[in-house]
Chain A
Amino acid sequence: MDFAKLLVARFFSETLGMRYVGDSGGVMWFEEGLNRVAVVAYFAEVYEEAELYKRVGELLATPAAKVYLAVLPEAAPFIDPKYLKTQGVGLVVVDPSKGPDGVEIKIYAKPRPAPPLDTRDIEPIKSALVQHLETQLKKIEASLYEKLRRYIDEKIEEARRQLSAAPKQEAAAKPSEPPTAPPGSVADNEWVKILRSRKREA
């Protein structure tokens, strides 16, 4: 890694507090919390405008939440800040002659819509989560059902007690109509006839 690149890596990790992940295909990757930040360093002695915008195009194609283009001060005349701002691309100017202080963010990158996640890794977590939620839901459902059942049983029992107490009180206060005929068990009892036939003793 050349010195300018080293300065960029140091600036992003130590000054901005990002975690340096690695370098792949000329793109330096950093992590800022859960967001991935891509930095393309284009350091050349002679800058070509077409090459510059080609690099910006590459940056826009990366699946990163924020993208930065790192250039030497010599590239400044070729860059249209308006274009970068509208595209949301950040610009970092690196001056190796100034050492660690030679890195400056000229334009801050705008957050880009997150790229679609790789659901293959999430699927097992998702299914485990669904399962856990279902179990919890069933438990809550069961406890709710149990509480509800107990509540209803108590209320029914209360109502029954009141119902059975009501006729008793009613009977005490206002007796029901007298039965006109004896119930079967009494009417059919042979003893009734026998006892009825008893006469006053002489």
Chain B
Amino acid sequence: MISDAYRLKYTFGVDFGTSYVKYGPITLNEPRVTQTRGLFLRDLPESVKMRIPPEILSRGLVVGDEEVRKYLSSVRDVQRNLKYPLKDGIAKRDDEDAWKVLKELARFSLAQFPQADPDFEGWLISIALSALAPDYMYKAFFDIYTELAQEFKIYAVTILPQPLAVAIAENAVNCIIVEGGHGNIQIAPISFALIREGLVALNRGGAEANAITREILKDIGYSDIAREEYAVEMVKRAVGLVPKNLKEAIRTAKSNPDRFVSKVRLSPVVEVEIPREYAWTRFLIGEIVFDPNHEEIKSYIEQSRLHIENAVIGDVTLYGEMDVATAVITSLRNVSVEIQERVASQVILSGGAFSWRVPPGLEDVAVNSVTRVKIALEEKNPVLASRVNVRLVAEPQYSVWRGAVIYGYALPLSLEWSDSTKEGWYFIKGRSQ
């Protein structure tokens, strides 16, 4: 019989994010973090093979930040052999390499917490996946942990969508979670559970802010720097601004460009300067995440320098040009009218795409993500805006993992996994309560 005390010790959370996996038992204050990637040990010179432990060589790949770095220089074709298995939180069904990496990451995370307790009956594993994850991903993860059960003691596995985990971590029972990732933004209404019918996804995120930063850098004359993703990300973080109102912000920046001139030092030898005539473009970088429907942004799309279009993952359409406020309202419309007001009471923003700062002295034109969403909601629906409380999550990096372990602790073991409700425990080896 699994007691509450047991679950407070042996619930294990894993958040499979596109860039990082956050994992660890419920007893940790903060999860351990490793990059979501694996290095295949192919094309190795014989001299290197001799130095690699046989069990690693037999598996053919390594995961974990330190381990990957250790072998990175030994692999001849890094481009081909370094695999990032998730794109927008999704692994393709037929991408064998991606699934091998995910399995290795699952093994890696469990191997770090060996248990010698005689009362240990196995981990209760709670996995957080993208809300857009198709059914085959659920099945594949259950298969992975079933296989790992031969190596580690695993009692049962459950999977929950990441927005639900955020809501749990934030102790918000009725809310709308707006998760802004690198590749997409998911708007998920929650009322005691994830309301899948109300799930709206945008095919935009931090990547689009990077893309427009790259084009601006090319225009200014930094084509060489624009090729490096790391440099583009640094420039975006340093100079990107979210405007209160794009038109007014551009007018202010054009009439007094000196206020908006900015310099970014990328390294001891490279410094990027946003000159006076391009100072106004800083507002496009932040605005594209919230609303790309402006002629200033459209001109980049028309010149085929930016690609913002709809995409389909499984049965979910990811909208390219829909603004965040419209997406929140669309999501809410798919929720039962009776609970709409309750759900709309809280809009919780999470994820890196909403991490924007307001430099001192620019408060008259620039705002943070919370204010930007509030302003947008007021423009679209003043009644809704007056009733909604918009806020950012307390722990952007760890909230999904924290929600996952609380879910794993609280979900009754009597509830068996159901493919239709996507809820419950999947028991290894047919074990059940």
A195 with B411: CB separation less than 8 A:
yes
B5 with A180: CB separation less than 8 A:
yes
* A33 touches B (CB below 8 Å): no
Which listed residue (B9, B114, B406) contacts A178, Cβ 8 A? B9
B421, closest chain A residue (CB): A201
B168 with A189: CB separation less than 8 A:
yes
* B116 touches A (CB below 8 Å): yes
B171 with A191: CB separation less than 8 A:
yes
**Which chain A residues lie closer than 8 Å to B409 at the CB level?**
182, 186, 192
User: Interface code A162-202, partner B: CB below 8 Å = 1, 0 otherwise?
Assistant: 00000000001111001110100110111110111011110
Closest-CB distance, B68 to chain A (whole angstroms) = 22
Which listed residue (B171, B402, B421) contacts A190, Cβ 8 A? B171
Report how far A195 CA is from B114 CA in the complex, Å: 29
* B149 touches A (CB below 8 Å): no
A186 with B115: CB separation less than 8 A:
no
User: Interface code A62-93, partner B: CB below 8 Å = 1, 0 otherwise?
Assistant: 00000000000000000000000000000000
Which listed residue (B6, B120, B168, B418) contacts A191, Cβ 8 A? B168
**Which chain A residues lie closer than 8 Å to B378 at the CB level?**
none
**Which chain B residues lie closer than 8 Å to A178 at the CB level?**
5-6, 8-9
* B414 touches A (CB below 8 Å): yes
Closest-CB distance, A51 to chain B (whole angstroms) = 89
* B415 touches A (CB below 8 Å): yes
Per the 8 Å Cβ criterion, residues 149-185 of B in contact with A are 167-168, 171, 173
* B410 touches A (CB below 8 Å): yes
Report how far A180 CA is from B3 CA in the complex, Å: 10
Closest-CB distance, B23 to chain A (whole angstroms) = 15
Closest-CB distance, B400 to chain A (whole angstroms) = 14
A175, closest chain B residue (CB): B117
B171 with A175: CB separation less than 8 A:
no
* B222 touches A (CB below 8 Å): no
A192 with B410: CB separation less than 8 A:
yes
A201, closest chain B residue (CB): B418
B193, closest chain A residue (CB): A194
Closest-CB distance, A196 to chain B (whole angstroms) = 6
B190, closest chain A residue (CB): A191
B120 with A175: CB separation less than 8 A:
yes
**Which chain B residues lie closer than 8 Å to A195 at the CB level?**
407, 410-412
A191 with B173: CB separation less than 8 A:
yes
A191, closest chain B residue (CB): B168
Closest-CB distance, B175 to chain A (whole angstroms) = 11
Report how far A189 CA is from B424 CA in the complex, Å: 19
Report how far A186 CA is from B192 CA in the complex, Å: 16
**Which chain A residues lie closer than 8 Å to B117 at the CB level?**
174-175
Report how far A173 CA is from B117 CA in the complex, Å: 8
**Which chain A residues lie closer than 8 Å to B412 at the CB level?**
195-196, 198-199
A172 with B116: CB separation less than 8 A:
yes
Report how far A200 CA is from B167 CA in the complex, Å: 23
Q: Which of A175, A179, A185, A191 has the most CB of B within 10 A?
A: A191
Report how far A189 CA is from B5 CA in the complex, Å: 17
B416 with A200: CB separation less than 8 A:
yes
A198 with B415: CB separation less than 8 A:
yes
B414 with A191: CB separation less than 8 A:
no
Report how far A75 CA is from B26 CA in the complex, Å: 116
A186, closest chain B residue (CB): B406
**Which chain A residues lie closer than 8 Å to B215 at the CB level?**
none
Closest-CB distance, A192 to chain B (whole angstroms) = 4
**Which chain A residues lie closer than 8 Å to B168 at the CB level?**
189, 191
Report how far A178 CA is from B416 CA in the complex, Å: 26
Closest-CB distance, B1 to chain A (whole angstroms) = 14
B411 with A198: CB separation less than 8 A:
yes
* B233 touches A (CB below 8 Å): no
A172 with B113: CB separation less than 8 A:
yes
Q: Given A189-B168, A189-B406, A198–B423 Cβ distance below 8 Å? A: yes
Report how far A189 CA is from B405 CA in the complex, Å: 12
Closest-CB distance, B173 to chain A (whole angstroms) = 5
Q: Given A178-B5, A180-B5, A194-B173, A199–B415 Cβ distance below 8 Å? A: yes
Report how far A194 CA is from B173 CA in the complex, Å: 9
A199 with B414: CB separation less than 8 A:
yes
**Which chain B residues lie closer than 8 Å to A174 at the CB level?**
116-117
Per the 8 Å Cβ criterion, residues 89-132 of B in contact with A are 113-117, 120
**Which chain B residues lie closer than 8 Å to A192 at the CB level?**
406, 409-410
Report how far A190 CA is from B172 CA in the complex, Å: 8
Report how far A192 CA is from B410 CA in the complex, Å: 5
User: Interface code B382-416, partner A: CB below 8 Å = 1, 0 otherwise?
Assistant: 00000000000000000000100011011110111
**Which chain A residues lie closer than 8 Å to B9 at the CB level?**
175, 178-179
Closest-CB distance, A137 to chain B (whole angstroms) = 36
**What 7 A-B pairs have minimum CB-CB distances, sorted nearest first?**
A195-B410, A192-B410, A178-B5, A175-B117, A191-B168, A172-B114, A179-B8
14 A-B pairs (CB sep. < 8 Å): A174-B116, A175-B115, A175-B120, A179-B27, A186-B410, A189-B171, A189-B410, A191-B167, A196-B410, A198-B415, A199-B414, A200-B415, A201-B416, A201-B424
Other than A189-B410, A190-B171, A199-B414, give 11 A-B pairs with Cβ distance below 8 A.
Answer: A172-B114, A172-B115, A172-B116, A186-B8, A186-B409, A191-B168, A192-B406, A194-B173, A195-B412, A198-B423, A201-B418
